[in-house]
Amino acid sequence: MYEDTLNTRKERNIFNRFLIYMIFIIFAILTLYPLIWLFYSSFKPQLEIIRDSFALPQDPTFSNYTQAIIKGKLNIYAINSIIYTFVSTGLVIIFSMMASFAFAKIKNRATPFLYNSFLIGLLITIQAILIPLFISMTRIGLRDTRIGIIFIYVAINLPLAVYLGTEFVKAIPDSLIESAQIDGASYFRIFFKIILPMCKPVMVTILIFTALACWNEFMLALVFTSSDSVRSLPVGIFSFSGPLATEYGMQFAALVIGMTPMILLYTIFHRQITRGFAAGGAIKG
């Protein structure tokens, strides 16, 4: 009798295990298969794509990629995306760390008000600023310029960066700063020699979030750019991948080019990215 229940319990356990593995394996297949399918399809000539979507390429070709670059101007878009991502991320890190230091360690009555107004920015829907920004950017001539895009990207990524930075700097003991001040160090010296070196972890988190956000951003780039020379990769890819477009191979190649940098980044930095999302993802979502 006792043996019996033990056996059924064991069987149930094995069954549960099996079920749990099935769930995770299904998730893994659902993630990997579309990416693999996209990858090998990007080497198929147009005719093979239409004839059989399953099949591996019979006659693999690079022409989809050369097409995407020559006809699709993907190289221009990619360079723009690289500029936007690097410059915006750099500026966000510098500006947010400066503000974080002031908010956390320099006493001022304005701090609660200013800091809270940054926090409100975390909950703001981008759509709420889209139209007035479009109007004012058009009027001052910053629409459809690289500077305009960078300007907007810096602004929308600042709230999260200022929040993460300030909370991090707050945790640095005051005594460190006080003893430096007694030794005659200025605020600038303290910032560069003490605060910044200690803030490396939070700067990595900010870097990951901002870089991902800038590289992947679509709606603002769509609204604020109209000429090919300033378009970013997502807008460029979208522009020739609409529902009616039929050059499938070229689109597949473009999608592969667009997603590869982020997948590489993730495989290299998956530890930091996971940690960053655990800390900051709770806010950003």
Partner 1 sequence: MEKFKRVSTYMIFVFPALAIYLAVIAFPIISSVGLSFTDYNIYKNLAIWTGLANYIKIFKDPVFWFSMRNNFFVIFVSVFGQIPLGFVLAYLIYRRLVKRSVFFQAMVFLPTVISTIIIGILWSKMFSPIGVVPRIIQVITNNPDYSMTIMTNKNLAMIPIGFVLLWMYTGTYLIIFLANLQNIDPDIIEAAQIDGATDGQIFRKIIVPQLYGVLVLTSILAISGSLRSFDLIFAMTGGGPAYYTNLLSIYMYNQSFIFHNYGVGSAVSTVMVILSIVLVILIRLARRKIDIMEA
**Residues 2 to 31: which contact partner 1 by CB under 8 A?**
17, 20-21, 23-24, 27-28, 30-31
Q: Does 131 help bind partner 1 (rule: CB under 8 A)?
A: yes
Identity of the amino acid at 265: L
Which one of residues 154, 164, 199, 203 is an interface residue with partner 1 (CB under 8 A)?
154
174-233 binders of partner 1 (CB under 8 A): 186-188, 191, 212, 215-216, 218-219, 223, 233
Query: Rounded to 10 degrees, what is the CA torsion of 166, 153, 208, 264?
Result: 180
Q: Does 281 help bind partner 1 (rule: CB under 8 A)?
A: yes
Residue closer to partner 1 (CB basis): 72 or 258: 258
Structure tokens at 170: 């707050």
Which one of residues 65, 77, 163, 248 is an interface residue with partner 1 (CB under 8 A)?
248
Backbone φ, ψ for residue 189 (5° rounding): -60, -45
Distance CA 226, CA 146 (A): 11
Instruction: Identify the residue whose tokens are 């709230």.
Output: 159
By CB under 8 A, the count of residues binding partner 1 is 96
Looking at 4-12, 57-65, 198-206, 262-270, which segment touches partner 1 (CB under 8 A)? 262-270
**How is 107-121 classified by DSSP, letter by letter?**
--TTHHHHHHHHHHH
DSSP H helices, the chain, are: 2-41, 46-51, 63-70, 74-105, 111-123, 127-139, 146-170, 174-182, 187-190, 196-198, 200-216, 219-224, 233-239, 248-284
Distance CA 91, CA 85 (A): 10
Q: Does 36 help bind partner 1 (rule: CB under 8 A)?
A: no
| CB of residue 52 to partner 1, shortest distance in Å | 8
Three-state DSSP class for 106? coil
Residue closer to partner 1 (CB basis): 51 or 71: 51
Residue closer to partner 1 (CB basis): 87 or 265: 265
Looking at 60-68, 169-177, 197-205, 257-265, which segment touches partner 1 (CB under 8 A)? 257-265
Q: Does 126 help bind partner 1 (rule: CB under 8 A)?
A: yes
Looking at 56-64, 72-80, 197-205, 241-249, which segment touches partner 1 (CB under 8 A)? 241-249
| CB of residue 274 to partner 1, shortest distance in Å | 6
65-104 binders of partner 1 (CB under 8 A): 94-96, 98-99, 101-103
- Among 77, 82, 83, residue whose Cα is nearest residue 238: 77
